[in-house]
Amino acid sequence: MIIGGGEDRTDDKNVLTRFVEIAGGAGRRLVVITTASRVPDKVWEMYDTAFADLGVAARKHLHLDSRADANNPALVAEIEQADGIFMTGGDQKRLMAIIGGTLADEAMHRALIERGAVIAGTSAGASAMSNHMLADGKTDLHPEKGAVHLGAGLGLVNRVVIDQHFSQRHRLARLLTIVAANPHLLGIGIDEDTALIVTPGSGIEVIGDGAVTIADGRDTITNIADLPQHGCPELIDVRLHLLPSGSRYKTIEAPAPLAHFMHIVTHRNTLS
């Protein structure tokens, strides 16, 4: 469940409600990982209240504050026992510096693949879900060579780059920068209070207030490789898809132009 940040936590709670449902209902165990945040207790308090409002009794705050924490079997056990794992916003680089390659990281992969637990990430937690992670990048009116930097993410989904707060912060240009320079990666932009729900091996659904934008640069003709740093690339033939809330496809039934995206995101990942 890839959430574009700013999901409602006090009123309709549409996205969080769905998270609880996918986890199996209010009777299941949820863990909230606040590692990305520098104000973890404040963030936890917000989700604690929201999930309590939704009737969840077994909710747990897991602030892994160091790699030692993330390799501590007692703490990792919380992930192993959870039906729903929620990664909050903050800084995706901080999140990955602490949990990348640790037992906690492995436990999340196992939770998803072996147990069918739901893993949600919002904002920084969303960006960290892909193998190639949008680490930081300038938001400008036009694509710009060298203006966006990738890092290594969790790899719960591969061959994509995820950006969040997408329409609200006008981030199409930086997504285009990424697909121009990395045509084998699909760009996925997720709006605030909006989630892309991916069911491995099955299909996708968009819920919430906004839309999901997909930029496919596989066939794009561009001069980015030959440009000086900071140049604006020419882009010919970027395939753009806009999936608003309510869009819902099974992988085997998706329209042909969406097939590549569907295959990539719903592909069952391995732990490797």
Interface residues with a copy of itself (CB under 8 A) are 141-143, 167-168, 170, 172-173, 176, 191, 210-211, 215, 219, 221, 232-245, 247, 255, 257-258
Which residues have CB under 8 Å from 97's CB, separation 6+? none
**Nearer to a copy of itself among residue 85 and residue 173 (C-beta):** 173
> Among the options 7, 37, 78, 123, which is catalytic?
123
Q: Is 253 a catalytic residue?
A: no
d(CA 127, CA 140): 19
Greatest alpha-carbon pair distance for the chain in Å reads 57
Contacts 24+ apart (CB under 8 A), 74-78: 75/104, 76/102, 76/103, 76/104, 76/107, 78/31
**Nearer to a copy of itself among residue 74 and residue 256 (C-beta):** 256
Q: How far is the CB of 166 from a copy of itself (least distance, A)?
A: 9
In three-state secondary structure terms, 76 is helix
**Nearer to a copy of itself among residue 40 and residue 143 (C-beta):** 143
**Nearer to a copy of itself among residue 90 and residue 233 (C-beta):** 233
Q: How far is the CB of 261 from a copy of itself (least distance, A)?
A: 9
Strand pairing report for 248-250 and 203-208: antiparallel
> Among the options 165, 167, 205, 245, which is catalytic?
165
Confirm if 253 and 262 have CB atoms less than 8 A apart. Answer: no
Q: How far is the CB of 50 from a copy of itself (least distance, A)?
A: 25
Q: How far is the CB of 168 from a copy of itself (least distance, A)?
A: 7
Q: Is 165 a catalytic residue?
A: yes
**Nearer to a copy of itself among residue 119 and residue 238 (C-beta):** 238
Q: Is 192 a catalytic residue?
A: yes
Strands of the sheet containing 160-163, edge to edge, are: 160-163, 186-190, 211-216
**Nearer to a copy of itself among residue 35 and residue 164 (C-beta):** 164
Confirm if 101 and 145 have CB atoms less than 8 A apart. Answer: no
Which residues have CB under 8 Å from 132's CB, separation 6+? 150, 152, 153, 158, 159, 160, 161, 182, 185
Q: How far is the CB of 163 from a copy of itself (least distance, A)?
A: 14
d(CA 67, CA 69): 5
**How many CB atoms are located within 10 Å of the residue 105 CB?**
21
Which of 131, 149, 146, 142 lies closest to 171 in space, CA to CA?
142
67, amino acid identity:
R
Q: How far is the CB of 160 from a copy of itself (least distance, A)?
A: 17
| Residues with catalytic roles | 123, 165, 192
